[in-house]
């Protein structure tokens, strides 16, 4: 019977000592070690975000069940949508019996920011194969996006950035799903006096305030906040829809109308 040597023991004919095989093995081991280190660093980096994410997830779980969804439907929505703001925006419309197109439009407008996120992240992950990019697009959330772009730049040459992003994003995903499950199955046991929805809102504000480093972002945030207050009494929670649209329009307009020097100065100041 013909015998075959294991691939790891194959030697180059020009290198009878097997040195090249050892070098290749060492490189693969070093690569795996570097990827694991980047993954763990990303996982550690999101730890401060989890304190605000847990109450937010619990609130989302309670809201889904309160809107009439079964436990299976609520958890399915949490996994498929994976966007707390869109979930909380659509649920009041579901309770109010709003048309399906209104719910679709509301969720799409609330999630318009992901178009901006994808445009910013594209230079970082352009070289990755499409399965990586699909996975990253699904796992992208506000907190991890802010941490990632604050730590890396597209041309910094840092290796294994995708593993850093994956490590942090997976931790966020797991904690979010666990928090939603806690709200779905145990939300009724939580006293209303705890006001978890306010804790989640405050945590989100603490995360977003450091992002207000650009004139266009500030103008967009102020416009969205003002419109949301003015339109708070609109039926079917449409005030949020109008506020998000106003913020996006004002932010884009401010970005295009701002002098080039001022815009670049603001970016460097960040």
Report the distance separating Cα 158 and Cα 130, nearest Å.
20
Direct distance between the N- and C-terminal alpha carbons of the chain, in angstroms, rounded to an integer: 68
Question: Each residue of 78-98: pLDDT tens digit?
Answer: 999 888 878 877 887 787 777
**Is it the case that residue 9 has pLDDT exceeding 50?**
no
DSSP string, 125-167: HTTS-HHHHHHHHHH--HHHHHHHHHH--TTS--TTHHHHHHH
Nearest-angstrom CA–CA distance, 144 and 117: 11
- Between residues 233 and 162, the one the model is more confident about: 162
pLDDT of the residue at 14: 54
**pLDDT at residue 2 above 80?**
no
Q: What is the pLDDT of residue 165?
A: 94
**SS3 call for 258:** coil
pLDDT per position as a tens digit, 42-81 = 999 999 888 878 888 888 888 888 888 888 999 999 999 8
The two tokens of residue 37 are 């280190």
Confidence (pLDDT) at 233: 82
Query: DSSP for 167-187?
Result: HHHHHHHHHHHHHHHHHHHHG
The residue-averaged pLDDT of 2-30 equals 51
In the chain, % of residues over pLDDT 70: 72
Tell me the pLDDT of the chain averaged across its residues: 77
Tokens of 94: 């579901």
How far apart are the C-alpha atoms of 25 and 33, rounded to whole Å? 12
For residue 186, the number of C-alpha atoms closer than 13 Å in the C-beta half-sphere is 9
Q: Percentage of the chain with pLDDT > 90?
A: 20
pTM: 0.66
DSSP 215-253: HHHHHHHHHHHHHHHHTTT-GGGHHHHHHHHHHHHHHHH
pLDDT of residue 263: 45
Per-residue model confidence (pLDDT) at position 206:
54
Higher pLDDT residue, 7 or 221?
221
Residue 127: phi and psi, rounded to 5, are -80, -5
Residue 55 CB coordination number (10 Å) = 22
More confidently predicted of 232 and 12: 232
User: For residue range 39-52, what is the model confidence (pLDDT) as tens digits?
Assistant: 999 999 999 888 87
Q: What integer is the mean pLDDT of 18-23?
A: 52
Identify the band that residue 260 occupies on the pLDDT scale cut at 50, 70 and 90.
low
Question: Which string of b and e fits 88-98 if b means at least 16 CB within 10 Å?
Answer: bbbbbbbeeeb
Which residues make Cβ contacts (< 8 Å) with residue 230, sequence separation at least 6?
239
Position 177 scores a pLDDT of 94
C-alpha triplet 62, 77, 108: angle, nearest 5°? 105
pLDDT at 15 over 80: no
């Amino acid at each position: 019977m013909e015998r075959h040597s294991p691939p790891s023991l194959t030697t180059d004919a020009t290198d009878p000592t097997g040195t090249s095989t050892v070098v290749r093995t060492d490189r693969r081991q070093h690569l795996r070690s570097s990827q694991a280190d980047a993954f763990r660093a990303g996982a550690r980096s999101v730890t401060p975000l989890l304190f605000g994410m847990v109450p937010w997830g619990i609130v989302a779980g309670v809201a889904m069940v309160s809107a009439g969804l079964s436990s299976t439907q609520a958890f399915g929505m949490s996994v498929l949508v994976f966007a707390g703001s869109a979930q909380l925006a659509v649920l009041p419309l579901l309770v109010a019996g709003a048309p399906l197109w209104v719910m679709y439009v509301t969720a799409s407008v609330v999630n318009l920011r992901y178009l901006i996120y994808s445009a910013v992240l594209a230079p970082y992950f352009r070289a990755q194969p499409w399965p990586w990019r699909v996975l990253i697009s699904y796992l992208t959330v506000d907190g991890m996006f802010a941490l990632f772009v604050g730590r890396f730049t597209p041309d910094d040459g840092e290796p294994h950035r995708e593993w850093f992003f994956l490590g942090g994003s997976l931790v966020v995903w797991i904690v979010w799903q666990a928090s939603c499950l806690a709200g779905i199955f145990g939300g009724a046991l939580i006293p209303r006096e705890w006001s978890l929805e306010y804790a989640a809102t405050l945590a989100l504000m603490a995360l977003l305030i450091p992002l207000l480093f650009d004139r266009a972002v500030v103008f967009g945030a102020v416009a969205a906040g003002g419109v949301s207050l003015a339109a708070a009494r609109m039926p079917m929670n449409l005030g949020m829809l109008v506020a998000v649209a106003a913020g996006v329009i004002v932010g884009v307009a401010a970005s295009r109308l701002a002098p080039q020097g001022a815009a670049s100065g603001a970016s460097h100041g960040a």
